[in-house]
Structure formats: C-alpha cells, structure tokens
Homo-oligomer: A and B are copies of this chain.
Amino acid sequence: MELIDGNLVSRKILSELAEEVARLSGIPKVVFIRVGNHPASISYLNKKQKVASEVGIRSELLAFSEDVEEQALLAQIDLLNAEKSVHGILVQAPLPSHLSEQTVFNRVSPLKDVDGFNVINIGKLFQEDSAGFVPCTPLGIAELLEQSEVNIEGKHIVILGRSLIVGKPTALLLMQRAKKRNATVTICHSKTENLFELTRMADVVVAAMGKPLFLKGNMIKKGAVVIDVGINRVPDASKSTGYKLVGDVDFNDVTPIASKMTPVPGGVGPMTVTMLMRNTLRAYYLNN
C-alpha cells in the first residue's frame, strides 16, 4: 500500500502559492467568522490562520458569541462583502442551530466565497462553469488523486455521504466532462441498502459520512484507492488532550487491501486548508 501524503502535496502547493503571493503588488486578505467556541472550529481556524500567514495571505478572525442574532451576523457579512481590502470570507461551520447555515453561506458575496458554499457557486459547479468557487475539500480530493496519479476517467468512484460540503460537491466535481475527471460516481448514504456491494466494486472509495473507522478491509476490492475525509475525535486517555483523531476508514484493516490511501491526520485535512489558500488567491484576482 502506498500512502497518499496530504502534507507532502500541500507543502509543494503552498510553496508555489507563497512564491506567487510574494510577486503580487497587493496583499490578499481573508476574513474568518466563528460563532461560539466549538473546540474543533477553534482548532480548524487556528490552522487556517497559521497556513495563511505562511503563504503571505493576511487573515483576520471575527469571533461572535454563541447567541449572536442572525441579522447581526448577516450585517457583518454585508460589510465585509463591501470592503475592498477583503478578498475572501469564510464562515466556519457548524453554526449553532438558531442560525440557518444556508442563509448565512448564501449571504457571502459569490466573488468572495472562498468556501464555495454560496448557492450560486454550487450552481456553477453543477453547470461546469469554471468561473465559480469550488468547495475546498472536494478540490483537495481531486488534487490528491491527480498528484498520486490515480486515473479516475471512466472509473467507478463510490462516495459515502451526501453532505453539502463533501459528498455532493465531490460527486459533481469528479464527474465533470474534463480531462482527469470523467469519473462514474455513486453516492451512498445512511439509507443505502447495498452499500457493501457498491464499495466492493469501487475503484476509488471516498469515505465522508462521519462514522469513525466505518470502512473495513472486507468492504473494498483488492487494489482500490481509499480517500478518508473523516475527522472524528474519539476518547483516548493516553493523549494529553484526552482524545485522538481517527478517520471514517479503519486504516490498519484497510492497509493490506488498498493500493493507495490517505491517512488521518495528514491526508485530506491539510489539502482542504491548502485549497482554501488557492481559492483566496483566486478571490484576490477576481476582486482586483
């Protein structure tokens, strides 16, 4: 089994991005919005700010209290949409239940929507209109497959999970009529009856349903490529944090069967952040 090293691929892309940013006359800037104090959100945003700084992208964090009113949040987004020095805006999910994620994401200007969750950018992904922003995790998955020389054209990719953020946009991206895309895609989910049958025939399995260690070795065919999008915190008394991160794939069980696979951490995770930087640089060009 060959490891698909997301950190390695990320470092290469980030160093190219840093060179490009250094040559610009201005400085790209992204604003992150966090609501509440969800530990994972804090940790993701720390990582995003750290990587932005490494690449030379300016970032700013606006943290709202858990009980912020939707109107206040939307008003802040409107200000950022209008602010010329801000090129990218990202609202960290998940949001507290009194807020509509859809309303909030759709309020971000499509031209600054570096997360690609605005309804117009989703529609453009569907229409194969490359002018839009594509969500970062699907972009990261496509990039990892390409860099690892996994040929997906005409191949069967089974995606586990139908989320707006990973499952569905990944399907739309990988099935596009384009070189190095053109995959045959199946989306499975919690209601799927013949899930094992489907995963066992897949050339590539993308696990993105948020169930720790769900995918086992006996669920894939020999030589399949496995992409693990899961990032689950499970209790671990031996860690100082009290938890460890595991994917949706049972790594050790799948290792003898897969030909290539991503680890957790160090697989899709860093690629998501890297693609966010690439999207921010695109937003800089679009807004200048």
Q: Interface of A with B (CB < 8 Å)? A: 102, 118-124, 126-127, 129, 153-156, 162, 164, 168, 171-172, 175, 177, 182, 184-189, 191-195, 197-198, 201
Contacts and interface: CB of A to CB of B under 8 A. Distances in A.
A193 B184 contact: yes
The 7 closest A-B pairs by CB, nearest first: A119-B123, A123-B123, A186-B186, A122-B123, A154-B191, A154-B193, A184-B192
A193 to B, nearest CB: 4
Given A127-B119, A175-B162, A156 B198 contact: yes
* Chain A contact residues: helix, strand, loop or mixed: mixed
A7 to B, nearest CB: 31
22 contacts: A119-B120, A119-B123, A119-B129, A120-B120, A122-B122, A123-B126, A126-B164, A126-B172, A154-B191, A156-B194, A162-B175, A171-B171, A175-B187, A182-B189, A184-B187, A184-B191, A184-B193, A184-B194, A184-B198, A185-B187, A186-B186, A194-B201
Contacts of A129: 102, 119
Contacts of A184: 186-189, 191-195, 198
A127 B164 CA distance: 7
Contact of A120 (B123, B185, B195, B197): B123
A129 B201 CA distance: 33
Contacts of A194: 156, 184, 201
